[in-house]
Homo-oligomer: A and B are copies of this chain.
Amino acid sequence: MITIDYTDRRPLYEQIADKLAKLMLSGVFPPNEKLPSVRSLATELSVNPNTISRAYSELEREGYIYSVVGRGSFVSGTDAIIDGEKAKLTEQIQEEIKKAVSLGILREELEKILDEEYKEG
C-alpha cells in the first residue's frame, strides 16, 4: 500500500503522511474510513510505531484525519479545502512554466517530468 523511498531527503513521518494524504485524496481511503492502526502500519512498513504516530499527528493537525483513543484513526472530509489548494497550486505551476519558457527550457523536459511523476508511485 505504501512504499518508503530511502532516496527521499525528507523525514519518514513526513513522507508517510504525504503518501497517506495521496491515498485519501485518490479515494483509496474515503471519508470516515478507518485507517490502519498505528502498530499495524508500523509493522507493515518496518518502522517504529512512534514514527507512524507522528505521521498521523501531522495529518490530524492538517485536518486530513481525526483520531480517537481506543477506536482508531479516521479520514475526515476535506474536499472543499483540497479544491482550493488545487486551484492555488495550478496557478503557481503556470507561473513557473512561464519562467521555464522564458529561460528556454524545452517542453520535452517538462513532459519528461510529467512522465516520471504520473508513472504510479
Q: Which of A62-121 contact B (CB under 8 A)?
A: 82, 85-86, 89-90, 92-94, 96-105, 107, 109-111, 113-114, 116-118
Interface check A25, CB cutoff 8 A: yes
Partner of A96 from the list B22, B89, B103, B118 (CB cut-off 8 Å) is B89
Are A21 and B93 in contact (CB-based, < 8 A)?
A: no
Q: Is A26 close to B, CB under 8 A?
A: yes
Interface size in chain A (residues, C-beta < 8 A): 33
Report how far A99 CA is from B104 CA in the complex, Å.
24
Complex contact B86–A104 (CB within 8 A): yes
Residues of B within 8 A of A97 (CB): 93, 113-114, 117
